Structure 1
Amino acid sequence: MELGLGKHRFLTCFLIFLYVAFVFYLDNLSDSGMAVAVMYVIAVLLASGFASANVIRATGTVCVVLTVSAFVWGHYDDLFDDSLARCIFSVAAIAITTVLAVRNQRGTDVLAQRAGLLNLSNDAIFVRDLEGAIQFWNRGAEKLYGYRSYEAINAVSAELLNTKFDVRHAEAMACLVETGRWEGELVQTKRDGSQLTVASRWSLSRDERGRPRAILETNTDISERKRTEVKLQEQERERRVILNTVPAFVWTNLTDGTVDYLNERWTELGIDLSGISRRLENLIHPSDLPRWRDLWAQAEQSAEMIETECRLKTGSGVYRWMLMRGSPLMSNAGEVVRWYGVMNDIDALRQTEEALQQAHADLAHATRVATLGELVASIAHEVNQPLGAVVTNGEAALRWLHRTPPEISEVRDGLDRVIAEGQRASEVVRRLLSLSKKGVPLNKSVLNCAELITESLALVQRELMRHDIAVDVDISAPDVKVRGDKIQLQQVLINLLMNAHHAVLEVQNGARNIRISLKLSVTSDVLIVVQDSGHGICRKHQERLFTTFFTTKRNGLGMGLSICRSIISAHGGRISLQSEEGEGAIFTIELPACST
């Protein structure tokens, strides 16, 4: 193409040369009295169509020189006749034309440079007159709309692009004329028929008198951005629908503790969503607030998920138990920028738990009472034995007093025995009463395990002896101690001993033995082992033996071992079973030892 353009320019220059030579020839031969040299103006104009300013000046200078030369050549004998006026007129016409052509060339170069800059823009830029006819169409417009420049020039832009305004066209034009600018969004159609959305910016150009002359329109394709915005809006609507249907109270929290979002479920608590610029801690029960603040302080430092239970104040002023979970949103720098969380209403669950705990306590008491019912004979023996000794020693003391002289020393010894047996009977009654008490809170103290076993065994000893059950006590660690509630631990031991008692009663032929031992484990924990010589427990029953309401007894409640496990767990220990069918059962209680 450059070669073709070079040939075109060369040909044009050659034609201009021939034309100048022809004019020079006519100027020298003409005697018509006409200013033939004025025809040199055409050569200057031809040169201005493709040449630079210097070439135009050179062309004008050559034409002036030829005009003067022709005048001197043809009129040297009379330089001051009418031919001089024609020469001056021709030179002036050539000079003026040259100056104007140079100025026009400079203006054209400036416009070309500006048009070149506009062509560098990726935006679609075009110039149209007040009627909408396109006067300039840059490459960005060609690329965006698919129309070449020669196709768009002189076409009405609104018709060519099937433009749809977000406001009325008249309003846009009125704003443009008043302020000189207008911005908005337009929907336009490309050459291939597809539509796009553009951010359009109009600038009004005025002439020297301030009258509107042309409109520069710059359009940026925002179709992808609009699609993204629509998609984000749809996602936001979906998110809100999802959050409002979640069966939980959703919240988001800024780093300063201010709540900036609550889902609609909060209205069920009577909390006004319009006033969400508040802090959650303002709704927390005063008793839970210190723990709440400590938890948040730790969470802000560790930036880890938090979970806690607290009481939340509703719109009616009533507090309800909530399970709160919160998770941080981290920035790329590793800093917390927002907290997201949910709260679940667990008030009914907490009430149910409290009711279950009360029911558990009631069942534990019922179990102790039932155990006492089975120990009636042993109780009678334990109480009657010291009472009988009291009566016997009292009668003997009376006889010794009636002797002459009275045997005072014997009386003193008899009364000492009366006092001792009375204290023994009182201790038996105290232990039984404490075991039968209901609703006694956990009262931990340091207990001697050997004494705990001895006292528990004394309560069931009579019942075991009545059925010829031998009890072997092996205390290898007599001084070991634990920290616990004496009554509850006695309940566990008595329950295990009575279970062993029932197990060995089923043995028709064979030894009826129960072995209870006290020792330390390799980890220095206290081990209390109750072993019987019964038939044992099958494996399928072992898996459920500690389950509430499961029992292998005909008239059992299925609560004893479940309560035993709960008591031992509350003391930081555990209870386990080892049994083989036909070889009896071994229950092991493991409790942490206490040094003081």
Structure 2
Amino acid sequence: MPFTHLLPGLAYCAAFVLGLLVASIACLCSRAILRRSIPDERVRHIVEVAPIGVLSVDARGRIRGANAAIENMFGFSRTELLGEPVWIVLPKANLESCAAMQAPALRRDGTRFLVEFGFAPVEQGQRGSGTAFVRDLSRQNAAREALVANNEKLSLILQMLPGFVWSERAGGELDYLNQQANYLEALNAEEPFDWNSMVHPDDVALKRKALDAMMQTGEPCEYEFRLLGDDGKYRWYQARTDALHDGRGTVVRCYGLAWDIDTRKRVEAALEANERELRLMVETIPGMVTVNDATGQLEYANQRLLEFVGRSFQQLYNRGWPILHPDDMEKDAREWRRCVEAGVPMEATYRLRRYDGEYRWFEVRVQPLHDERGKVTRWYGLFIDVDDRRKAEEALRTAQSRISRATKIATVAELSASIAHEVNQPLAAIVTNGHACQSWLASDPPNLDRARQAAERVVRDGNSAADVVGRIRALFRQTAPAKARLDLNVLVSEVLRLFEDDLACKSILLVSELHYPLPHVWADGPQIQQIITNLMNNAIEAMDGVEVVQRRLTVRTWSDADGRACVQVSDGGRGVDDVERIFEPFYSTKDSGMGMGLSICRSIVEAHGGRLWAASLQPHGTALEFFIPLEVHG
């Protein structure tokens, strides 16, 4: 129990003071009565106002007088007490000269209580008349019991506190510890308990420094330290210590409170480790990272970005973003303002100036962070260097363009050679047979039979040449294709698979919206696939040079109420000015185009009884759409 060492002293002091008070009054009254040195009126006044009860008793023990304190203490009036034996209120009263003693007393209502009783006879050492002095101890006992109860309550509170409470003497010896089960043996030992022996060696100096500062300044101190537990492991505690000074300002005792913060320290250590790991991750990812506040103001830039631009964060913060290419600055600023005002993500591609003055292409993605109310609190940006990729793509496009042109030239050359070969043979035969016919007719006499045979061969070879020309013409005019029952979704899916790598290489988002089930059509499969392939190629080439966010290619299929299967290919390119002229032969919007692709596609579609057309999209892009009648045989 805390502070129990003070109780005996307090009780002794209280008894001593009250004993002196009783003795003084008794002495004064006795002397006044015996010696008559004080006038009767003054004696009566002193007795009447005395804080203890005074009874005047005759030789037979009957009450001859009582003061007001007696009336208040026992509940009897003085009139009721006069002539009554003193034992009706003090059953065990000793009417011999005696020092103060504790005795039971009886109130008028029959309740018993404890008093301190003393008797002073008129003649010292004889039994007889005299004066009795009575002091009520019930209140003192109640106060003492209340003090004990409060002390037990305080002890319970201290024991239940989720931490250590201790007191130290001025010399540093520990003399109280609320949770002392683990240290009881050490506290009860004859040798002083070394408090620091339980503190982690690395924390002893810190604790001593904090306590020394408290001694010098007189202000409470706080510090953290590790304390050895009964399991042999150290746990973190946070402590607050204050000093008790005497009247001269000298420290006589220190009181302290320490609470367990080991879990908090472990959580903080884990959070710090996670923060270090996240920071290391942000600093080492192959990209540049920024954090902006809700208004778009820069708050953080990782080291990779600072090294790229060759500036400190403060310089970047103060000067804004003059590292953008002049051609991209206005467009980027406008797009950034729009996204911040609308609270929507931003995707863009622009050039940043490196510390050596070289501009490089970056793909930028900025994502907003919203609170629970949907309000933007921060913006997180990622900058990915795509300069090498763009250069490689450009080189690849150039190579593909050259290959395509070379292929077209080779195809034309091959076709020309084939035509020349096919036509040259019958023409050569015609010339030979013509000369033969002339020779037979010029002979004497003319050989008409042989000349007729040569002329027949000329006609035959001429028809052969006409057949060659007819087959060539058939390539460029509408002919009835070989049709079969086909699923357009299957044809479209096969074409899309062929373009997967090309779309991924050019960062084009493919959106496939195929309607299932789609009724079958009667068509020439290879020709329909050739149409879809041509439309896909045109859409991909139309998006060269546009922003990555615009690169979106959508392929849709559906059937309408008119019994037609429809296919649409749309892109996010720059669009076309004249949606009808693009179907004219030898007209092309591309520098290297021959202008025959869409014309041939329209011819094939119309040969199937369908129609092909184009439409401009807003704000940019073009859609090409064709339909083929369902279940049409022929």
Q: TM-score, normalised by structure 1?
A: 0.50
Other-structure match for 2:394: 354
How far has the Cα of 1:370 moved from its partner?
4.8
Other-structure match for 1:258: 297
Structure 2 segments unaligned to the other structure (5+ residues): 1-86, 105-111, 421-463, 484-490, 503-531, 543-552, 554-567, 570-596, 601-606, 618-634
- Asked whether the 8 Å contact 2:94–2:119 carries over to 1, the reply is no
* 1:566 partner amino acid: N
Structure 1 segments unaligned to the other structure (5+ residues): 1-20, 30-34, 48-56, 381-463, 472-500, 502-511, 518-528, 534-538, 550-560, 579-584
1:310 aligns with 2:347: no
Partner-residue secondary structure (3-state), 1:186: strand
Other-structure match for 2:271: 232
Percent identical: 22
1:201 aligns with 2:254: no
Partner-residue secondary structure (3-state), 1:210: coil
- Aligned mate of 1:286, from 326, 332, 346: 326
Other-structure match for 2:477: 516
Q: Summarize the alignment of residues 473-552 of structure 1 with structure 2, pairs less than 5 Å apart.
A: 501=472, 513-514=474-475, 516-517=477-478
Q: What is the CA deviation profile of residues 562-595 of structure 1, one whole-angstrom value per residue up to 9, with x for unaligned ones?
A: 999634654698689x9xxxxxx99x99541689
Partner-residue secondary structure (3-state), 2:335: helix
- Indicate the structure with greater helix content: 1
Computed over aligned residues only, the root mean square deviation of the Cα atoms, in angstroms, reads 5.4
Q: What is the CA deviation profile of residues 441-485 of structure 1, one whole-angstrom value per residue up to 9, with x for unaligned ones?
A: xxxxxxxxxxxxxxxxxxxxxxx98762437xxxxxxxxxxxxxx
- Aligned mate of 2:250, from 204, 207, 211: 211
- Aligned mate of 1:179, from 217, 226, 229: 217
Task: State the alpha-carbon separation in 1 of the partners of residues 535 and 480 from structure 2.
Answer: 13
- Aligned mate of 1:37, from 99, 117, 140: 99
Q: Summarize the alignment of residues 333-352 of structure 1 with structure 2, pairs less than 5 Å apart.
A: 333-352=373-392
Partner-residue secondary structure (3-state), 2:99: helix
1:566 aligns with 2:541: no
Q: What is the CA deviation profile of residues 21-54 of structure 1, one whole-angstrom value per residue up to 9, with x for unaligned ones?
A: 9x9989656xxxxx7414x2xx59xx9xxxxxxx
Q: Summarize the alignment of residues 94-493 of structure 1 with structure 2, pairs less than 5 Å apart.
A: 114-115=154-155, 117-119=157-159, 121-138=161-178, 141=179, 147=182, 156=193, 158-159=195-196, 161-162=198-199, 164=201, 165=203, 167-180=205-218, 181-275=220-314, 277=317, 281-300=321-340, 303-366=343-406, 369-370=409-410, 373=413, 468-470=468-470
Task: State the alpha-carbon separation in 2 of the partners of residues 320 and 530 from structure 1.
Answer: 54
How far has the Cα of 1:266 moved from its partner?
2.6
How far has the Cα of 1:212 moved from its partner?
1.2
- Closer, same or farther: CA 124–72 of 1 in aligned 2, 3 Å: farther
Task: State the alpha-carbon separation in 2 of the partners of residues 190 and 198 from structure 1.
Answer: 11
* 1:592 partner amino acid: A
Partner-residue secondary structure (3-state), 1:226: helix
Q: What is the CA deviation profile of residues 226-256 of structure 1, one whole-angstrom value per residue up to 9, with x for unaligned ones?
A: 1111112222222233233322223322223
Task: State the alpha-carbon separation in 2 of the partners of residues 594 and 158 from structure 1.
Answer: 87
* 1:322 partner amino acid: F
Task: State the alpha-carbon separation in 2 of the partners of residues 149 and 300 from structure 1.
Answer: 66
- Asked whether the 8 Å contact 1:26–1:36 carries over to 2, the reply is no
Which moves more between the two structures, 185-194 or 218-227? 185-194
- Closer, same or farther: CA 314–368 of 1 in aligned 2, 3 Å: same
Other-structure match for 1:592: 614
Q: What is the CA deviation profile of residues 48-82 of structure 1, one whole-angstrom value per residue up to 9, with x for unaligned ones?
A: xxxxxxxxx963xx223xx1377799747675xxx
- Closer, same or farther: CA 225–589 of 1 in aligned 2, 3 Å: farther
Partner-residue secondary structure (3-state), 1:334: coil
- Closer, same or farther: CA 173–289 of 1 in aligned 2, 3 Å: same
Partner-residue secondary structure (3-state), 1:284: coil
Other-structure match for 2:579: none
How far has the Cα of 1:363 moved from its partner?
4.2
Other-structure match for 1:63: 116
How far has the Cα of 1:120 moved from its partner?
5.3
Task: State the alpha-carbon separation in 1 of the partners of residues 481 and 138 from structure 2.
Answer: 129
Task: State the alpha-carbon separation in 1 of the partners of residues 274 and 93 from structure 2.
Answer: 84
Partner-residue secondary structure (3-state), 1:68: strand
Q: What is the CA deviation profile of residues 194-250 of structure 1, one whole-angstrom value per residue up to 9, with x for unaligned ones?
A: 321001111111223322122121111110111111112222222233233322223
Task: State the alpha-carbon separation in 2 of the partners of residues 467 and 71 from structure 1.
Answer: 171
Task: State the alpha-carbon separation in 2 of the partners of residues 246 and 161 from structure 1.
Answer: 46
Task: State the alpha-carbon separation in 1 of the partners of residues 480 and 538 from structure 2.
Answer: 17
Aligned length: 378
- Closer, same or farther: CA 170–122 of 1 in aligned 2, 3 Å: closer
Q: What is the CA deviation profile of residues 4-25 of structure 1, one whole-angstrom value per residue up to 9, with x for unaligned ones?
A: xxxxxxxxxxxxxxxxx9x998
Task: State the alpha-carbon separation in 2 of the partners of residues 74 and 255 from structure 1.
Answer: 100
- Closer, same or farther: CA 532–373 of 1 in aligned 2, 3 Å: farther
Task: State the alpha-carbon separation in 2 of the partners of residues 177 and 25 from structure 1.
Answer: 58
Q: What is the CA deviation profile of residues 295-332 of structure 1, one whole-angstrom value per residue up to 9, with x for unaligned ones?
A: 33444456454322111122233221001122333323
Q: What is the CA deviation profile of residues 134-179 of structure 1, one whole-angstrom value per residue up to 9, with x for unaligned ones?
A: 44433xx46xxx5487975786361573455264444222111123
- Asked whether the 8 Å contact 1:326–1:341 carries over to 2, the reply is yes
- Asked whether the 8 Å contact 1:166–1:185 carries over to 2, the reply is no
Partner-residue secondary structure (3-state), 2:265: helix
Q: What is the CA deviation profile of residues 103-153 of structure 1, one whole-angstrom value per residue up to 9, with x for unaligned ones?
A: 877766665565555455333222222233444433xx46xxx54879757
- Closer, same or farther: CA 367–466 of 1 in aligned 2, 3 Å: farther
- Closer, same or farther: CA 173–69 of 1 in aligned 2, 3 Å: same
Task: State the alpha-carbon separation in 2 of the partners of residues 546 and 203 from structure 1.
Answer: 79
* 2:378 partner amino acid: R
Task: State the alpha-carbon separation in 2 of the partners of residues 160 and 200 from structure 1.
Answer: 17
Q: What is the CA deviation profile of residues 367-388 of structure 1, one whole-angstrom value per residue up to 9, with x for unaligned ones?
A: 56556656879999xxxxxxxx
- Asked whether the 8 Å contact 1:266–1:273 carries over to 2, the reply is no
* 1:468 partner amino acid: V
Other-structure match for 1:53: none
